[in-house]
Amino acid sequence: MTARIGVVTFPGTLDDRDTQRAVRLAGAEAVPLWHRDKDLKQVDAVVLPGGFSYGDYLRAGAISRFSPLMETVIDQAKAGLPVLGICNGFQVLTESHLLPGAMLRNNHLHFICRDQKLRVESDRTAWTADYTAGQEISIPLKNIDGRYVADERTLDMLEAEGRVAFRYLARGEAADGYGNPNGSLRDIAGITNEAGNVVGLMPHPEHAVEPGIGTGRTDGLGFFTSILKKLVNV
Amino acid sequence: MARVVVDVMLKPEILDPQGQAVQRALPRLGFEGISDVRQGKRFELEVDGPLDEAALARIHEMAETFLANTVIEDFVVKVEEAEAVKVES
């Protein structure tokens, strides 16, 4: 029996199908979850995919965070359930306070869509064990509210505890996918909670899982193989 | 029926590129002398029943948990007088 990974659909979610596909490509079973249900259908892990849930009204992720399903996800995440938030999913995680900080409008005010170079800073999370710390990957980035902010104390804590999971590769040509794309503080692209089960990032690993499609690279597949190995070994 | 207004603003230390874009457009439009613009949100709540202490406490809780994200934003709750004089623009 393989692992069951839930993929949540909110009204306005866009990337749930791609995420389900990525889960299946990694060898796990993808279980669609609906925002109005409270039941997690006994999944072993949950992915909150990208999109514009509730049209980003109020703040990105602010309304989704109070959905019946998220109430269950928040409880379970605190008890150790692995949760990955991608893009809008990351925004939902910060709004839920499962991850510290907040996401704001890109500093240049433009929607950005490009292949983005990142460095995986931590291979000690449930979702990054198949990478090595320091590894550079390229996966798509597409958002307008991608600027990660937190107060200095929180940023220092994240750095000290090794909880900056991904950083934008700041040096190099923007045309080649380098550079901080949105003004995120300390070039942070993604972070993890203390236990390493909850991870959020703005770029999209689920769009880089098949050769010949999108980036043509499979740099994002490791997220899904990482969690699968962890769950199967348990 | 009472009206309560909740104003939400980004904290002073948070960069507001939308406010900056507005500020930069002003001289071009002939509006001189504005050195800074910060953009925020205003919520107008029509409250059923008496606006007592308990009702105001609930609105405060609503603002703190939902209308504002206190990681990045400050908020102010104001009660609008029913007979307030409306200034015509």
ipTM: 0.86
Domains of chain A in start order, with CATH, are: 4-233 (3.40.50.880)
Chain A residue closest in CA terms to B12? A151
Considering the domain B2-80 in this protein, what is its CATH number?
3.30.1280.10
What is each CA distance from A42 to A93, A118, A161, B53, in whole angstroms?
A: 20, 33, 31, 43
Establish whether A204 is a catalytic residue: yes
pLDDT in tens, chain A (234 residues): 689 999 999 999 999 999 999 999 999 999 999 999 999 999 999 999 999 999 999 999 999 999 999 999 999 999 999 999 999 999 999 999 999 999 999 999 999 999 999 999 999 999 999 999 999 999 999 999 999 999 999 999 999 999 999 999 988 888 888 999 999 999 999 999 999 999 999 999 999 999 988 778 899 999 999 999 999 986
Distance (Å, rounded) from C-alpha B36 to C-alpha B20? 7
User: Distance, in angstroms, between B24 CA and closest chain A CA?
Assistant: 13
Residue A181 is given by DSSP the state: S
User: Distance, in angstroms, between B71 CA and closest chain A CA?
Assistant: 6
What is each CA distance from A195 to A40, A80, A126, A127, A198, in whole angstroms?
A: 21, 8, 9, 12, 7
Question: Domain coordinates of chain B in residue numbers?
Answer: 2-80
Residues of A in contact with B21 (CB under 8 A): 109
- Smallest Cβ distance to B72: which of A66, A102, A108? A102
How many CB pairs (< 8 A) connect A and B?
Answer: 34
Residue spans of alpha helices (H) in chain A: 16-26, 68-78, 88-95, 152-160, 221-233
